[in-house]
Amino acid sequence: MRFLNSFLIRLILGIYFLFPDQTVLANAAQPGVWNAGGAVFVMLYPEDSSVFRKIQMKKESIYIQLYNGFSVVKGAYFFSNTTNEELRFKMGYPTNGIYNGGDILLNQVRVDSLSNFKIKADGQWLTVERMNIDKSDNFTLFDNSWHVWEMSFKPGETRQVEVYFIVNTNNAKLVSGYNQTRKNAFIYLLESGSVWKQPIDTARFYIQFLDGLTTAGLNGISKEFNFKKSNINQLLVGFKTDLSPTPKDNLVIVYGNKSMDFDFGTVALNHKNLFEKIERFSSLPFETLTYAEFTPPALTIGEKDAITGLENALEHFVLYAPVLIGLLSLLIFMWALFYWRKIRKQ
């Protein structure tokens, strides 16, 4: 019996040091927005690193149309070569991976949810190639496949770059401890713009709610953009100036609810019409529209509901079940060994 008591004490102490309190379980997943659709662009090659601080993003205008389950994006940028030398470098993004941005709250973007990416410079479409590159930075890559394009700048030249893409926003998860909420989420990772020569002079954001969505039904949005709203167009307009981006500058939009029967593949097939629609949207005379004050709704992370509560319970079961089963098996074995020795002595 003394042997068994000693074993049980050691077992209890072992469990305590493995799981000292519920805080360990609560912090098993970083709070924030996981699996969002969104955008991040980086320069790729180590040999191009000398270029990073020679190109300044003078201005960016981001046009976002939100639908149930997905978003369509056009980004218009003005880049300037701040040197007297000709610059040539490659840019790109992974085809299969995630980018972990943010600070205390996670801003996680799945880059494999980005579809039908197109880019043009000064009105001319650029060729986007697939290349295998062993580089990760802030990415967690599932393979080494990247979409890559090349940029060149004459001394002192300013070029306009426009990108178009569609992202799946239906798989986002808002996490806080044990609580999770399934919503649509879009993240524009302004923090990735820190690779350029600072600052970004002007960044403007135009967000339109479509597909029955409205500004009134917004679940949450980043507050530091001085947003104004146009009720007629279901539109939010915000901006930042003289910006040296950090994680707190990321644009996070949470809206709608997860659709269980959403098919992103069908949406992607309609990319031509969707790109034509956002092109018309980007041509609106935004300066002449009438705007009202807008108070961003507070972003609530991790409201528990039946579905997400079950998902969370299953995730923790899968994570900790092997350890608990192993400890239980060891306990049963020690009890059996104890009684076998007791019977043998008799």
pTM attached to this predicted model = 0.75
**Token match 């580089």: residue?**
135
pLDDT of 116: 86
Query: What's the pLDDT tens digit per position in 234-288?
Result: 999 999 888 887 778 888 888 888 888 999 999 999 999 999 999 999 999 999 9
What tens digit of pLDDT does each residue of 320-337 get?
556 667 777 777 877 777
Higher pLDDT, 143 or 8: 143
**Chain segment 4-61, per-residue pLDDT in tens:** 445 444 444 443 334 433 333 323 445 555 556 666 655 555 567 678 789 888 899 9
Say if residue 2's pLDDT is above 70.
no
| Residues contacting residue 32 through CB under 8 Å, at least 6 positions apart | 102, 105, 106, 107, 108, 174, 175, 301
| Per-residue pLDDT reduced to its tens digit, 194-247 | 777 888 888 999 999 999 999 888 888 888 888 999 988 899 999 988 888 777
CA distance 232 to 28: 44
**Cα 273 from Cα 165, distance rounded (Å):** 12
Domains of the chain and any CATH numbers: 2-25+308-345 (no CATH), 31-302 (2.60.40.3680)
pLDDT the model gives residue 182:
79
Q: Which of 274, 284, 184 is nearest to 232 (CA)?
A: 284
